[in-house]
Amino acid sequence: NSTAGVEIKRLPFSRVSQRDLAFFEKALPGRTITDPDVLASSNVDWLKSVRGSSELLLRPQTTEDVSQILRYCNERRLAVNPQGGNTGLVGGSVPVFDEIILSTSLMNRVLHFDQVSGILTCQAGCVLENLSSYVEERDFIMPLDLGAKGSCQIGGNVATNAGGLRLLRHGSLRGTVLGLEVVLADGKVLNCLTSLRKDNTGYDLKQLFIGSEGTLGVITAVSILCPRKPKAVNVAFLGCSSFQQLLKTFHCCRGMLGEILSAFEFLDGACMRLLEKHLKLNNPIRESPFYIVIETAGSNASHDEEKLHHFLQEVMTLSLVTDGTVATEDAKIKALWALRERITEGLTHDGYTYKYDISLPVEKIYQLVEDMREHLGDKAKNVVGYGHVGDGNLHLNITSHSRDPDLLAAIEPYVYKWTAGCRGSISAEHGLGLKKRNYIHYSKPPEAVALMGDIKRMLDPHGILNPYKTLPDSC
């Protein structure tokens, strides 16, 4: 197995026996997969940076299936790796050793949609893009959107507390997820699948599972609040000569676009060069050190266009922005968004990528990229920065021709110490998974980490759920 350079020892879980296989084949006929070709792709993550050696993949269709699987695995001390669309970026979605892969891909039914409230209830394996189409046909949108929408599943989104491109407007899943159904490690079903906006009856248990990365339970169904589909959407793609100008543009944008602002994203010139080189995408404006993607979403096209026009006039007059283009029709909107959404894909063509997903006070976010460039000198192939400016979330990515332990030693713990120095977070939205778990103490006090360990032991006393993930070795 390959664990991205992290040394790990297999814990003393049972190994899958012929009797176990016979049990699963009876419980899930035709959905108990041992075919090495199918397993090969489920054992490796999207970035192809970590690889497990599981020999068994289970495809439950119902909550009862999941409950039966976990009850059995818990009694037999068999480790389980919950897997959604396998688009996670921190090595959490694939086994480290021979953990059984529990895939939610066949749990893809919409259970209910309320046309008045916009509350959608569905199984965890629904692909985000399919849910978007489903609710858009009914004049609503999903409250989250991300580049992986064609493969990631809502259960995986909730399990990672994914942020994405609409968080600035609609907030995090901690607010929009109204209810969850979760199967606990011993097979017990926790039905908190309510659709209430307000519910203060004791502890909000669903929050424990949002962002728990499959370590506390398997999410089987989600109830989520969808906003109304905006009647008018505009996208502006702008160039800035410095990050300082970009921040001033953000300040001005919030003031002038107010309630119609739905995204404020950025990429640097190095990202643009990768998009041009590896994906053959064209830069629609003059070359700049920084680019901004602004989206407005509102209910009145002429009102929104007028506001956007005034804003653009202002930032041009103040010389905050050097060049720009605006899209109102769908195809051009998609083309502009591709320049931001496809950076992750572009990076995979540049070599091995070291990915960092950092929360910082917004005025600090690009300083980390500049400091890292200086710190690494010519050790790295490219050091690029992009991300969700509106959320104070930087994606710092460093590429090299191949996996390079010396480069990694130069990046870590430097990047984490830098982040801790600003009281930032070493994982803004991707989670800790396998790769980041031992750095948790840079962002959380020891008392908080110890309490996380206590919660894990209470909910999963045999530690069968996604072992080696999220919690540090010290827990």
- The footprint of ligand FAD (CB under 6 A) covers 46, 81-89, 92-93, 104, 124, 146-148, 152-153, 155-157, 159-160, 162-164, 213-214, 218-219, 344, 429-430, 433, 466, 469
Cβ-proximal residues to 385 (8 Å cutoff; 6+ apart), any chain: 266, 267, 268, 270, 271, 365, 366, 368, 369, 394, 395, 396, 397
**How many angstroms separate the CA atoms of 254 and 283, rounded?**
25
Which of ligand FAD, ligand MLT, none does residue 395 bind to, with CB < 5 to 8 Å depending on kind? ligand MLT
Helices (H), 173-233: 173-176, 206-209
Q: Which residue is nearest to ligand MLT (CB)?
A: 344
Minimum distance between the CB of residue 431 and ligand FAD, rounded to whole angstroms? 7
Instruction: Give the residue with the Cβ less far from ligand MLT, 119 or 368.
Output: 368
CB of 147 to ligand MLT, least distance (A): 5
Q: Which residue type is seen at 437? A: R
CB closer to ligand MLT out of 92 and 147: 147
Each residue 356-395 as x (binds ligand MLT by CB under 6 A) or -, in order, gives: -x-------------------------------------x
**147 counts as binding ligand MLT under rule CB under 6 A:** yes
Nearer to ligand MLT, 160 or 212 (CB): 160
| Helices and strands counted in the chain (H then E) | 17, 18
160 binds, among ligand FAD, ligand MLT, none (CB under 5 to 8 A by kind): ligand FAD
Closest CB to ligand FAD among residues 156, 230 = 156
Q: CB 346 → ligand FAD: shortest distance, Å?
A: 10
From the CB of residue 338, how many other CB atoms can be counted at a distance below 10 Å? 15
The smaller minimum CB distance to ligand MLT, of residues 183 and 294, is found at 294
Q: Find which of ligand MLT, ligand FAD, none residue 69 binds, CB within 5 to 8 Å per kind.
A: none
Q: How far apart are CB 340 and ligand MLT at their closest, in Å?
A: 7
With CB cut-offs between 5 and 8 Å by kind, which of ligand MLT, ligand FAD, none does residue 262 bind? none
Which residue type occupies 139?
D
Alpha-carbon distance values, 208 to 103, 186, 302, 456 (Å)? 21, 17, 43, 10
Nearest residue to ligand FAD by CB is 156
If one asks whether residue 344 binds ligand MLT (CB under 6 A), the answer comes out as yes
Write the secondary structure of 368-429 as one string of H (helix), E (strand) and C (coil): HHHHHHHHHHHHCCEEEEEEEHHHCEEEEEEEECCCCHHHHHHHCCHHHHHHHHCCCECECC
d(CA 7, CA 106): 34
DSSP state of 125: T
| Contacting ligand MLT within 275-334 (CB under 6 A) | none
Question: What does the alpha-carbon distance between residue 399 and residue 418 come to, in Å, rounded to a whole number?
Answer: 19
Instruction: CB nearer to ligand MLT: give 327 or 347.
Output: 347
Partner in contact with 169, chosen from ligand MLT, ligand FAD, none, beta carbon below 5 to 8 Å by kind = none
Q: Which helix (H) or strand (E) holds 256?
A: helix 243-257
Tell me how far apart the alpha carbons of residues 312 and 300 are, in angstroms, rounded to a whole number.
18
Rounded least distance, CB 379 to ligand FAD, Å: 26
From the CB of 161, what's the least distance to ligand MLT, in Å? 12
Contact in structure between 26 and 58 (CB atoms under 8 Å): no
Binding site for ligand MLT (CB under 6 A): 147, 343-344, 357, 395
